Amino acid sequence: MNMQEIRNRAGQLLSLEGKVALVTGSASGIGRGIAIRLAEMGATIVVLDKNLEGGRETVTTIVQAGARAVALACDVRSRSDCQRAVAEVVAAYGRIDILCNNAGIAIRKDVLMLEEEEWDLVLGVTLKSVYLLSREVIPHMIRGGGGSIINTGSGWSLKGGPKAVSYCAAKGGVMNLTRAMAIDHGKDNIRVNCVCPGDIDTPMLASECRQLGEDANQFMKEAANRPLARVGTPDDVANAVLFLASDMSKWVTGASLVVDGGGLA
């Protein structure tokens, strides 16, 4: 095999041509980056977000680049919303090959300050949604011969963080839920993995800064205090998700890929 054939083979392994990918929380931030990257590699993208206007902006970016995408409104905490959204996708495309459970929310409070309603909100959006959507999508993946599920965890899936009890609990749950699902559905040729970003330059990170009442410049400077000396970008995470979604990782399941510039090193 010559070098050109090797390059072609690598491209084939990363190609998502003919695949249908559902990406939650993709109206902005990491989810938008994931949706765009998977579309660039040939997938038809379903942008799933409660923020339909933002979802449509993601779709416009993808379609203007010559790829295929559609936006659906969905409250990922709602079983009926998740059922409806998945049914619409299957009716339109006949399959779901890739599920990216990316939706999440961070409320920066300790256990004494956090209200019960806030706990329920964070756990619902960040953790319960993974269960609800996986429950709806997996039967269609089984029918189609397999698939890839990528859940978005966090560096705080692996360690605790200050004033973030609900977020840490949810993201820790996402990681172990990933492992359990990988064990249960390996027999169905469904791979389930988790990507664990560090601080990423997104609207969510800006929101955390405001919640904590910190100076934005100092906050970002501290966030960049890691071996690679910068805050991450949605593209950094999207590239890791592409690897886990593609045949490049066809013997990888139950894994957690840390993408944090060395912050946990």
Q: Active-site residue numbers?
A: 167
> SS3 of 28, please?
coil
Q: Where are the alpha helices (DSSP H) in the chain?
A: 3-14, 29-40, 52-64, 79-93, 116-123, 129-144, 165-185, 203-212, 216-223, 234-245
CB neighbour list of residue 4: distance below 8 Å, 6 or more residues apart: none
Element (H, E) at 193: strand 190-197
Given a contact cutoff of 8 angstroms between Cβ atoms, the answer to whether 261 and 232 are in contact is yes
Nearest Cα to Cα of residue 74 among 61, 89, 64: 89
Greatest alpha-carbon span in the chain: 63
- The residue type found at 67 is A
Given a contact cutoff of 8 angstroms between Cβ atoms, the answer to whether 60 and 111 are in contact is no
